[in-house]
Amino acid sequence: MRATSPVISAGDDVDATTTTQWISYGDAIDTTAPTVTVAEVLSDPAKYLDKEITLVGNIKEVCAKMGCWVRLAPEKAVAPAEGAAEDAPTNVFVKLTCPSEGRIVPEDVAGRQAMARGKLVMEEMDEATARHMAEDAGATAEEIEAIKGPRKSLSLNTVGVRVAAKS
């Protein structure tokens, strides 16, 4: 396994009117798949399921242990899709599958914009896994204990993530 180190690059802007510098963590990602925001995915998940997309959103959480996953959320809360279950996902879980030693994504990137490419899938996370993920995110014992039963999760597996550099 190899250690990853961030790479700063310009371009691949989500918004062509801005010049965003991106820091890449993990392996390089191809951003030529259609770009979709987390808000768009959450408002109509079925439209994007099982499709390759370049997902863009704000980093809500980073795995506190190894930085091997992030949760991307929309800038503002999104109304659930019509007919969505009460436990419908409110963010997208992005799992980095690149081989590495050490931390992949640093914790201090929470709140910044990020992009990742992969196939969007809906998964059901059992209670034990949901608790493990909450622990990895630094949740309190009370928050972990409050997790009961399985949870639906929108997930995207990727080899890397690009994070907007601090402005």
In the chain, domain spans: 7-164
- Summarised one tens digit per residue, pLDDT across range 39-87 is 999 989 999 999 999 999 999 999 888 888 899 998 877 766 666 666 6
CA pair distance 164, 167, nearest whole angstrom: 8
Contact yes or no for 68/104 (Cβ under 8 A): yes
Predicted TM-score (pTM) above 0.85: no
Please give the CATH superfamily to which domain 7-164 belongs.
Nucleic acid-binding proteins (2.40.50.140)
Which pLDDT belongs to residue 119?
92
Lowest-pLDDT range of 4-8, 22-26, 125-129, 132-136: 4-8
The string of pLDDT tens digits covering residues 75-124 is: 877 766 666 666 667 788 888 876 666 778 998 999 999 999 999 999 88
15: pLDDT confidence band, cut at 50, 70 and 90? very low
| The pLDDT of residue 156 | 93
